[in-house]
Amino acid sequence: MSRKVEELEATISELESTVQGLTEELVDTKEKLRVIEEELGIDVSEIDQHRSVNVEPEYENTVEPPQNDTNQVDNPTADQKSTEADERIEEDIIVA
């Protein structure tokens, strides 16, 4: 059982190191980004305000409620009519 504990402790240590490294990288990247924004004269607060005002949904709700299917029974489509006609023709054919 102590072997399993050692493996878990090693895994925890690796994960902590990874998190620490990623955190440092994130801080460095944010600092570099701030410097670039400053050099270009970009005001981040204006961009954030613009984004919040002009947010559009990534997708639209395209689900439509089901329509009443009685129309299909009462008013057959052209495909249904041709199928019925084909069946009648086949009934009239006599094979000798």
Q: What is the pLDDT along the chain (96 residues), one digit of tens a residue?
A: 799 999 999 999 999 999 999 999 999 999 999 999 999 988 877 776 767 666 666 666 666 655 665 555 555 565 555 566 566 555 555 655
State which H helix or E strand residue 81 sits in: helix 78-92
C-beta separation of 11 from 18 below 8 A: no
pLDDT for the residue numbered 60? 61
Residue 5 within any structural domain of the chain = yes
Residue 88 within any structural domain of the chain = no
Query: Distance (Å, rounded) from C-alpha 20 to C-alpha 5?
Result: 22
Residue 59 within any structural domain of the chain = no
9 in helix, strand or coil?
A: helix
pLDDT for the residue numbered 44? 78
Residue of 34, 30, 50 lying closest to 42 (CA atoms): 34
Expressed as residue numbers, the domain containing 32 is 1-53
pLDDT for the residue numbered 46? 75
Residue 91 within any structural domain of the chain = no
Domain count, the chain: 1
Whole-Å CA distances, 48 to 30, 33, 36, 59: 16, 15, 17, 21
